Structure 1
């Protein structure tokens, strides 16, 4: 049949629903699937674009958990209102910081300047020794290399890279944490409102377990920081190692980051120790090993029984990944993030087992 004859007959009508036929169930199902994938891609893009503000918000939640832990601890001793207990925690924290700065502020400032010079000199000597033995090729300016390497070490946040930005980030973390700690139930209800009504009960249980895990994790970290800082300061002071107070404070702060913090602490201690002589260098090495072994075999197991026991390999892997993706700020928050993910996965597994048990009972 020719095309002309075909035109005189019936029109060739395409079968099936088109994209404009939204009432068709198949089209609606496909649009839902496309919407899910589009929403997932948009969410990933937003996370990538807003990762630094999200880290600041998460840091505020971590600080809120610290405050909430202190409020609950005081509540076991003083049966007063939550607002009064929170005020006591904040005043104690401010008093501790102000007292430390007042009593040892001048000493810490002088030791910090001395530490920078000592590290540059020690790095220069090490690189010079390596160059003399052919380990480092070329005749680059060793002192400039050391200063550049140590200059990058002092950044507080990789995404801002300036003192003003670091201070602003810390202030935002403190403000967010304080607001959340003042009225945690308000934000808890707000999160539940975003979840479908039939799932809010299970979601509330999951959030409560996450908050409980966060408080225990941070309590363990604070105890470890205090013990390690005091031990290192005391042993270095007894051994006559310079800048013992500053090294103790830095060791306590770096103890918040397991594994990597201990390595950085050891490098600082050994560098400062050998700057004052071989005996003090050996004493610094001995102090490092004694404190780390005591912390690893005594303090951490005792604390882990009452807090959150996370596998060391998982902790180290998460820190490497977070520091690569998010910089120093991500490194500091790696453990809390992994702990929250761990709680969510355990909760999901529990719900799946409960659903399988219910289905098996119904089938029986």
Structure 2
């Protein structure tokens, strides 16, 4: 290799190392882009309905978002926080009840097989109900300071995401053209179309997820009310929010209502499990295909692989953004790798 080639390889390696070290910041930037696409979708809807110019549509969209956030903050969040705190308080008792049921079942099985019971799962019960409290006041203060620092850092990151999203929403074409300039000149026109397709795919995915999450929350609320399970509002909101994270989210949302139902009756907990399985199957096979039949479809295996891969690479934020990342990557792979690189090779091989 010549000196220039070695220099180029060194530059490429350095760029990859730099991107890897900045991966968390890049994930926050991508989160801002996803939020901006959601706002741009709303702006487009307002412009289509009112026929107004974009600056006015942006202002009206932000006012609409502010109104919705205010209504949710005053009407939904206070009872949700109260019920969620009560729900968290019930989890230890539900875990103890479940453990007692397991111990009884294991003891019955042991008596049937061996004619005696040997204290099955006693070590597990002791591990769950025992715990070390803070050794002293100094340790407690250090934990409190660490929690405050984490909350402050999270608020700053959220402020960064919102600020960048608002800037992109105000001038999406300018930021898109800035991204286009990063590729070679001969490919810029094609890359611009690919970015537009990524934006359309993200918008369609977000609309579909919003509709399916609302349906899941409503169905969960109706089903839990009919079963007589307490804390319906908190569990319904959790089901709607966690539905955004496929595979993992619905499983987590089932734990909380089953814990509450388990305190009343094991049969009611089983009924809640059956309800959530039915709701999730209805969402997966009826609701989502109905609202996304014209949008980008993600294969279940691709979804699960993306969640695992991005969680390992980027942590909890990667799990939250796994689906929008997978949406963009699927468009990129289809349009750039397959259509622009592999297909020309295939045509060249056939003609040669």
TM-score (ref. length: structure 1): 0.81
1:111 counterpart (39, 64, 83): 83
CA contact 1:71–1:82 (8 Å) conserved in 2: yes
CA contact 1:270–1:284 (8 Å) conserved in 2: yes
Q: Distance in 2 between matches of 1:171 and 1:260?
A: 27
1:342 counterpart (324, 330, 337): 330
User: Does residue 1:223 correspond to 2:223, yes or no?
Assistant: no
Secondary structure of 1:162's match?
Answer: helix
Q: What residue in structure 2 maps to residue 179 of structure 1?
A: 167
Secondary structure of 1:77's match?
Answer: helix
1:81 counterpart (53, 57, 60): 53
Q: What residue in structure 2 maps to residue 213 of structure 1?
A: 201
CA contact 2:96–2:125 (8 Å) conserved in 1: no
Aligned residues: 324
Q: What residue in structure 1 maps to residue 141 of structure 2?
A: none
Q: What residue in structure 1 maps to residue 321 of structure 2?
A: 333
Post-superposition CA distance 1:78-125 (Å, at most 9, x none): 110112222222222222222122123332121011011112222233
User: Does residue 1:92 correspond to 2:64, yes or no?
Assistant: yes
Q: Distance in 1 between matches of 2:123 and 2:9?
A: 52
Q: Distance in 2 between matches of 1:105 and 1:336?
A: 26
CA contact 1:68–1:181 (8 Å) conserved in 2: yes
Q: What residue in structure 2 maps to residue 155 of structure 1?
A: none
CA contact 2:202–2:328 (8 Å) conserved in 1: yes
User: Does residue 1:312 correspond to 2:284, yes or no?
Assistant: no
Q: What residue in structure 1 maps to residue 129 of structure 2?
A: 143
Q: Distance in 2 between matches of 1:161 and 1:144?
A: 28
Q: Displacement, 1:283?
A: 3.4
Which piece of structure 1 moves more, 262-271 or 329-338?
A: 262-271
**Residue 101 and residue 321 in structure 1: after superposition, are their counterparts in 2 closer, same or farther (change >3 A)?**
same
Secondary structure of 1:256's match?
Answer: coil
User: Does residue 1:267 correspond to 2:255, yes or no?
Assistant: yes
**Residue 292 and residue 199 in structure 1: after superposition, are their counterparts in 2 closer, same or farther (change >3 A)?**
same
Which piece of structure 1 moves more, 92-101 or 66-75?
A: 92-101
Q: What residue in structure 1 maps to residue 226 of structure 2?
A: 238
CA contact 1:128–1:142 (8 Å) conserved in 2: no
Q: Displacement, 1:220?
A: 1.3
CA contact 1:123–1:146 (8 Å) conserved in 2: no
Q: Distance in 1 between matches of 2:132 and 2:332?
A: 44
CA contact 1:127–1:142 (8 Å) conserved in 2: no
Which piece of structure 1 moves more, 331-340 or 345-354?
A: 345-354
Q: What residue in structure 1 maps to residue 115 of structure 2?
A: none
Q: Displacement, 1:295?
A: 0.7
User: Does residue 1:198 correspond to 2:170, yes or no?
Assistant: no
1:291 counterpart (250, 270, 279): 279
Q: Distance in 2 between matches of 1:169 and 1:120?
A: 32
Q: What residue in structure 2 maps to residue 352 of structure 1?
A: 341
CA contact 1:219–1:307 (8 Å) conserved in 2: no
User: Does residue 1:281 correspond to 2:269, yes or no?
Assistant: yes
RMSD, matched Cα? 2.7
Q: What residue in structure 2 maps to residue 120 of structure 1?
A: 92
Secondary structure of 1:47's match?
Answer: helix
Q: What residue in structure 1 maps to residue 139 of structure 2?
A: none
Q: Displacement, 1:145?
A: 6.1
**Residue 351 and residue 181 in structure 1: after superposition, are their counterparts in 2 closer, same or farther (change >3 A)?**
same
**Residue 185 and residue 108 in structure 1: after superposition, are their counterparts in 2 closer, same or farther (change >3 A)?**
same
Q: Distance in 2 between matches of 1:354 and 1:289?
A: 42
Q: Distance in 2 between matches of 1:38 and 1:131?
A: 61
